[in-house]
A and B are shown apart, each in its own frame.
Chain A
């Protein structure tokens, strides 16, 4: 227990900080930090898949779209409570994740990256095809909209609950199986691990997390679910967040989520370049630099620092 004290202490400190923040920040900044919370959930989910079970996905924006549309459509047609739609999005995306995980069993590495990229491109086009049900380019408007503070609370409560859930899943038998599959599929099979079961399970859990993030994401855009906001960039942001956080560790997630949630907003006002273009230049440059400087992301940096302190 004593070895865990610093870890528990830092989690408690971050939790207190996040709980206090909305009372001191302006409304705009509250929505920014809420955005970080939304990315926290999505990046956490992708890390379970890519970091722990070793399957890359550039398609998690697709699951966010499915979650977001589930919530918006249920709210529009049945006035369902938004918290309930989160549970529904979790369940639906879990099942769809399992279904996507099945064909993904045949693919790995670069091929899986391309296949999931295809998913991210194709899914946001579906509302254009079934426009009467899914609203076409105009999107779907939820029946209820909520305030920035509400979203902030919801996003960070979800983050806390899902972080705990991820920790519980990953510390035990299932997490061990995931890591074994990631490190060597053949060795894992030889130790009696059912490959197809655990690989699809990782896809399901990860997609369910993305689904919840999608619901929060739609709430944050005034309850509007639109095809354009779930473009390929969203999927890329989640992947970048997971890599910057550090794959295969839960300690860097906050940094990864803050990186993709805040950096594009903060860098709109860089000197010299200025305005909108500066955002892409700085963001792209930072992505490349962080990947070169921190091969294992912020989690790796933390681990190295801890080793330094101990030595």
Chain B
């Protein structure tokens, strides 16, 4: 009796969860300290870290799109990267038609939102409740379809798109390109906006409810169908941000430019936990920095970056499938 009521017993009961979280935060804190010390020691290290964080933010944004969709509809959207690529082409076209970069940026986000919502309504909804396999195949079909359409309209050749940022800062001897600072700022700003939408608005509350407890949400008057469709729209917007910000760092616009990014976004989403939006962003930043440092200091393994990201993914899936921040999925039988 006594042990049950003592506060220690409660702590012990939560012990496993608490221990897990502490390990994760220690790990992340250690990583941050390592990066900080490295940046103070060497300017090359600092530059690699900054550009890694910027590219990683784009991975994180794409990973966040995957996670939002996975949480809402339990679909892994293999077409997310191609959708981001297609919206980047739309931005390119708008700029060609004479819009300024930021006008095109805003218009593209709106188009991406409509596109994402429409995709959910037309092709995902019918298969969503069927099986994981059906949904995966439809998203794979979309991958091939979007790729084909972009190749058809714009051709497979290389295009150049102006970058909104040029020049560089000098921060204590470290040369930081405006491009990377801008990427980091824009992507993280958009992520924060999405977070605020989910956290502080009634719409966001409805979307969270629809994703986590569809039946209960429907009983409480939430239009679950619409919430899921809007979730897809938001994911497409995040993907578009990732695509438009990632493109200048690749210098060239080709129909395949997001495929590698999608691979890293998968790894990032699994690293953070497929159910955890915050984890996706942290995972993206971590993978971006890690791969950038790897490529910077060990140039002989550059061709192995993709398998390496996947080795990380496989290892996490096997050791801790719920990722750094995810909770273990419990299902009733």
Q: Which residues of A contact B (CB under 8 A)?
A: 50, 56, 58, 103, 106-107, 109-111, 113-115, 117-119, 121-122, 125, 128-129, 184, 186, 236, 239-240, 243, 247, 273, 276-288, 291-292, 295
A106 and B148 in contact, given A236-B140, A295-B134 (Cβ under 8 angstroms): no
Contact B317 A114 (CB under 8 A): yes
Q: By the criterion CB–CB under 8 Å, are B144 and A284 in contact?
A: yes
Are B304 and A125 touching (Cβ within 8 A)?
yes
Contact B321 A284 (CB under 8 A): no
**B141's contact among A273, A279, A287, by CB below 8 Å, is which?**
A287
With a cutoff of 8 Å between Cβ atoms, the chain A residues found around residue B306 in the complex are 121-122, 125
Q: A125-B304, A129-B304 are in contact. Are A240 and B152 (CB under 8 A)?
A: no
* In the assembled complex, B158 has its CB within 8 A of some CB on chain A: no
The number of chain B residues touching the other chain, given as a range, is 35 or more
- C-alpha gap A114/B146 in the complex (Å): 21
Specify which of B70, B136, B306, B314 lies most central, judged by the most chain A CB atoms within 10 Å of its CB. B136
Extra inter-chain contacts (16) besides given A284-B142, A284-B144, A287-B144, CB under 8 Å:
A56-B133, A110-B76, A114-B313, A122-B311, A125-B307, A239-B136, A277-B151, A278-B148, A284-B143, A284-B145, A285-B141, A287-B137, A287-B145, A288-B145, A291-B138, A295-B127
Given contacts A56-B133, A247-B133, A287-B137, whether A111 and B147 have CB atoms under 8 Å apart is no
17 contacts between A and B (CB under 8 A): A111-B274, A114-B317, A115-B313, A122-B307, A122-B311, A236-B140, A239-B136, A243-B134, A277-B152, A278-B148, A284-B146, A284-B148, A287-B140, A291-B134, A291-B137, A292-B126, A295-B130
Report the Cα distance A125→B301, complex, angstroms: 12
**Known contacts A56-B136, A118-B310, A292-B123; is-contact A128 B303 (Cβ 8 Å):** yes
CB distance from A226 to the nearest CB of B (A): 16
A56 to B78, CA, bound (A): 15
- B295 interface residue (CB < 8 Å to A): no
The 3 closest A-B pairs by CB, nearest first: A280-B148, A284-B145, A287-B141
Interface 1/0s, chain B 12-40, versus A by CB < 8 A?
00000000000000000000000000000
A50 cross-chain contacts in B, Cβ below 8 A: 133
Give chain A nearest CB distance to B142 CB in angstroms.
6
Q: Is the Cβ of B317 less than 8 Å from the Cβ of A111?
A: yes
Q: B304–A240 contact, CB under 8 A?
A: no
Is B270 part of the contact surface with A, judged by Cβ < 8 Å? yes
Which residues on the A side are within 8 Å of B123 (C-beta)?
Answer: 288, 292
CB neighbours (8 Å) of A111 from chain B are: 274, 317, 321
Kindly identify which residue among B74, B140, B313, B314 contacts A110, using a CB–CB cutoff of 8 Å: B74
Chain A interface mostly helix, strand, loop or mixed? helix
Once A122-B307, A240-B140, A243-B134 are accepted as A-B contacts, the answer to whether A186 and B146 lie under 8 Å apart by CB is: no
In the complex, A186 Cα to B331 Cα: how many Å?
Answer: 12
Q: Is the CB of B130 within 8 A of A107?
A: no
Closest chain A residue to B305 by CB distance? A125
Chain A contacts for B140, CB-based, 8 A? 236, 239-240, 287
CB nearest to A118 among chain B residues: B310
Q: Quick check: is B132 within 8 A (CB to CB) of the other chain?
A: yes
Assembled-state Cα–Cα distance A278/B74 (Å):
31
Alpha-carbon distance between A7 and B153 when the two chains are bound, in angstroms: 46
Q: Which residues of A contact B127 (CB under 8 A)?
A: 291-292, 295
Chain B residues, Cβ within 8 Å of A287? 137-138, 140-141, 144-145
Contact with A along B264-288 (1 / 0, CB 8 A): 0010001000100000000000000
Instruction: Kindly report which residue of chain A lies nearest to residue B151, judged by CB atoms.
Output: A277
Contacts of B76 in A (CB 8 A): 110, 113-114
Q: How many CB-defined contacts (below 8 Å) exist between A and B?
A: 126
Residue B263 lies at the interface, judged by CB distance under 8 Å to chain A: yes
Min C-beta distance of B157 to chain A, whole Å = 12
- Residues in B whose Cβ lies below 8 Å from that of A288: 123, 138, 141-142, 145
Residues in B with CB closer than 8 Å to A121 are: 263, 306-307, 310
Closest Cβ of chain A to B63, distance in Å, is 12
Name the distance in Å between A299's Cβ and chain B's nearest Cβ: 14
- For the complex, what is the distance from the CA of A295 to the CA of B314, rounded to whole Å? 31
Contact (Cβ within 8 A) B136 A281:
no
Closest to A292 in B: B126
A106-B318, A106-B321, A122-B307 as given contacts; A58 in contact with B151, CB under 8 Å: no
Q: How far is the CA of A255 from the CA of B137 in the complex (A)?
A: 17
Q: How far is the CB of B29 from chain A (nearest CB, A)?
A: 28
Cβ-defined contact, B133 with A284, below 8 A: no
Whole-angstrom distance from the CB of B254 to the nearest CB of chain A?
14
Given A129-B304, A186-B333, A280-B148, also A103-B137 (CB < 8 A) = no
A110 contact set on B, CB distance < 8 A: 70, 74, 76, 132, 136, 274
Q: How far is the CB of A310 from chain B (nearest CB, A)?
A: 26
Minimum C-beta distance from A262 to chain B (A) = 16
Taken together as a complex, chains A and B put the C-alpha atoms of A103 and B317 apart, in Å, by 9
Residues of A within 8 A of B145 (CB): 280-281, 283-285, 287-288
Interface residue B149 (Cβ < 8 Å from any Cβ of A): yes
Contacts of B263 in A (CB 8 A): 121
Q: CA–CA, A309 to B108, complex, Å?
A: 52
Q: Does A240 contact B137, Cβ atoms closer than 8 Å?
A: yes
Contact of B310 among A58, A113, A122, A243 (CB under 8 A): A122
What chain A residues lie within 8 Å of B141 (beta carbons)? Answer: 240, 284-288, 291
Q: Separation in Å of the B137 CB from the closest CB of chain A?
A: 5
CA distance A45 to B314 in the complex (A): 23
- Contact partner of A283 (CB less than 8 A), chosen from B137, B144, B314, is B144
List, in ascending order, chain A residues with CB within 8 A of B149's CB: 281
> From residue B264, how far is it (CB to closest CB) to chain A in Å?
11
B123 — nearest CB in chain A belongs to which residue? A288
Q: How far is the CA of A113 from the CA of B317 in the complex (A)?
A: 11
- B151/A103 in contact, CB under 8 A: no
Interface centre among B76, B123, B144, B333 (most CB of A within 10 A): B144
